[in-house]
Amino acid sequence: MVSFSKGHTKDRHPSEGLTVVDYAFAFLRALVIAGGLIWLLFHPFPPLMRFNLIYIFIVFVAYSVVLQFIVFMHPERVEKVYLAALILDMGFIGVFIRLSGGFDSNVFLAFYILAALHSFYYGLTKGLILSIAASLTYMLVVFDQIDFIVWTDMVLRLAIMFVIAGFLGFLSGKTRHDREEILKMKDEMTSLQGNLAKAYNNLQDVKRQVEQSEKLASIGRLVAELTHEINNPLDGIKNCLNVLTIEKDDAELRERYIALMQEGVREIEQAVRDLLEYAKQHEFRVEPVDVNEVIRRTVLMGEYKFNKQGIRVRTNLDRHVQDVMGDSHHLQQVFFNIIFNAIDAMPNGGVLTVESRKENDYAAVEITDSGTGIPKKDMEKIFRPFYTTKKIGEGTGLGLPISDGIVKRHSGKMYVYSYVNMGTTFRIILPTKESYDNILGGYR
């Protein structure tokens, strides 16, 4: 497996395998072998010199093949193999220079390649040490020609090698440092991403708990109304029992009053059933929802309160409104919050108007009250969590923010229009099944 390594100076674990650099070294050695062979075949050497050079070249090819075989078979030994190859290559280049003309041989350029590759591989310090070793080897090889060498030429050749080694060694160190910093940042980002995901999940849990808390607060209000709703049929049942106790021999009267008592029991059962159904925790589930039916069910839940406060309810539900795609329980919570806020805004009675209509591929619901209205300074704050204009203990400040979030989750929008002492209108736009499918199609 090919991989990038962030360091080259430590022994590798056997499972790490070869790196891209290792394959690059093998490729370069193959190029050197091919180039050396061409040079030996076509350069006009004297016959004896060519024979000696070919003999030395065969030795170079042989140990190169052996070393590469060890590298591929035992990647964990690659550092030791490269060190052995470095020593052998330096000796080979020295012998080649000696046999091919000494100071006049162009083979000294191989020292530049050797210094460049190993400086990049090992880093600045080891690269400079290698340059010193190569310089000493070169001077030893051409020592017998020292009287014929212009010293500035020698200094220039060696200086170029040190410049190459120094530059590539520094570049290699900088690259490794930058790579380590990037990997460190990547680890930190991964850790941060994990923490953010955990925080997001915690926030989702808190959000669900807050939504349920708001729902429980509204349930508390419903329970108060439920006692009155139960009391009415209970009073009727009690009256029927009193009459039956007195007129127990009248079979026709008994049958009629028993039917009335059964109707009263059904009313109590329905009231309790509605409350329990509303109180349940429901996972958000997208399915076709009859929005008009949800509105009717919610309006019935406030019937006693309407009668108690003298609120007239007008409903104008368009039968052409198509089903919306969403969750009926969450939508009922939206309508419940808005309707009961409207009830609070009309303590001395008024008119509550609930309308639905079809608008292109959307269903529009408008809930209008003739209450106190919302002051302009509060309009921008009503959707902020925990902001409320009600007295302490009468509101959590979560109803409208949660309702707005539910509408947005349905890919809908909520608007509010209000005038002080004139009333407030909440307008909710929800996509029908057809438009909802089109919205989803845009993301596919």
pLDDT in tens, 410-438: 889 999 999 988 999 999 999 987 776 66
The CA–CA distances, whole Å, from 426 to 178, 326, 341, 365, 409 equal 57, 19, 11, 8, 17
The predicted model gives 132-152 an average pLDDT of 81
Q: Residues 206-215: contacts with CB within 8 Å, 24+ apart?
A: 210/385, 210/398, 210/402, 211/398, 211/402, 212/281, 213/396, 213/398, 214/337, 214/396, 214/398, 214/399, 214/402, 215/278, 215/279, 215/333
254 Cβ contact partners less than 8 Å away, ≥ 6 residues apart: 244, 247, 248
The residue assigned the tokens 């040490």 is: 129
pLDDT in tens, 275-292: 565 555 556 788 899 999
Helix, strand, coil distribution of the chain in percent, nearest 5: 70, 10, 20
Question: What is the crossing angle of helices 109-122 and 78-99, to 10°?
Answer: 170
Contact (Cβ atoms closer than 8 angstroms) between residue 243 and residue 257 = yes
Q: Which of 245, 261, 300 is nearest to 278 (CA)?
A: 300
Top pLDDT among 354 and 13 is at 354
The predicted model gives 364-387 an average pLDDT of 83
pLDDT band at 169 (very low <50, low <70, confident <90, very high): confident
Q: Which residues pair with 315 in a beta bridge?
A: 354
Residue 317 has a pLDDT of: 93
Whether 21 has a pLDDT exceeding 50, the answer reads yes
Whether 61 has a pLDDT exceeding 90, the answer reads no
138 Cβ contact partners less than 8 Å away, ≥ 6 residues apart: 94, 97, 108, 111, 157, 158
Superfamily of domain 287-441: Histidine kinase-like ATPase, C-terminal domain (3.30.565.10)
DSSP line for 333-349: HHHHHHHHHHHHT-TT-
Most confident of 12-16, 99-103, 214-218, 310-314: 310-314
Task: Lowest mean pLDDT of 70-74, 384-388, 428-432, name the range.
Answer: 384-388
Q: Which of 67, 49, 69, 47 is nearest to 57 (CA)?
A: 49
pLDDT band at 6 (very low <50, low <70, confident <90, very high): very low
Residue 206 has a pLDDT of: 65
Q: Residues 144-152: contacts with CB within 8 Å, 24+ apart?
A: 144/102, 145/102, 145/103, 148/103, 149/103
Check the CA dihedral 41-45-46-48 and report its sign.
negative
**Structure tokens belonging to residue 437:** 């499918």
pLDDT in tens, 219-265: 555 565 556 556 656 766 766 677 677 776 677 777 777 776 776 67
Residue 363 has a pLDDT of: 92
Residue 277 has a pLDDT of: 55
Q: Which of 338, 352, 370, 348 is nearest to 303 (CA)?
A: 352
Whether 4 has a pLDDT exceeding 70, the answer reads no
DSSP line for 285-300: --EEE-HHHHHHHHHH
Q: Which one-letter amino acid corresponds to residue 291?
A: V
- Residue 415 is given by DSSP the state E
Task: Using DSSP, state whether 145 is helix, strand or coil.
Answer: helix
Contact (Cβ atoms closer than 8 angstroms) between residue 371 and residue 350 = yes
pLDDT band at 293 (very low <50, low <70, confident <90, very high): very high
- Residue boundaries of the structural domains of the chain: 14-192, 287-441
What is the phi-psi region of residue 214: left when phi exceeds 0, alpha when psi lies from -120 to 50, beta otherwise?
Answer: alpha
Q: What is the mean pLDDT of the chain?
A: 78
